[in-house]
Amino acid sequence: MDESERQAVRSAIEALDGGLQGILRWMYTLKPVLRNELLQMTGPQMESLREARNRLAALLGESPPPAR
C-alpha cells in the first residue's frame, strides 16, 4: 500500500470515528427513554461501523481503540 492509499484509509478511519462520536454525543442530549430506543434500533448499524473502522485500522497495522 503506497502512502496516498494509507492516507485515504486514515481519512476514512477519522471520518468513521468522527461520525460515530457525533451521533453518540447527540444521542446523550436526548431523554433517556428516547435515547435507549434509538440505540436499540441503530445498535447493529453502529456495530457494523465500528467493525469497519477496526478492519481499516488493521490494514494499516494499527490496533483498535480500547472498548469503553
pLDDT digits (tens, 9 = 90+) for 24-55: 999 999 999 999 999 999 999 999 999 999 99
pLDDT digits (tens, 9 = 90+) for 9-24: 999 999 999 999 999 9
pLDDT digits (tens, 9 = 90+) for 22-31: 999 999 999 9
The dihedral of CA 23, 37, 67, 55: what is its sign? negative
Q: Which residues contact 12 (CB under 8 A, 6 or more apart)?
A: 56
Predicted model pTM: 0.77
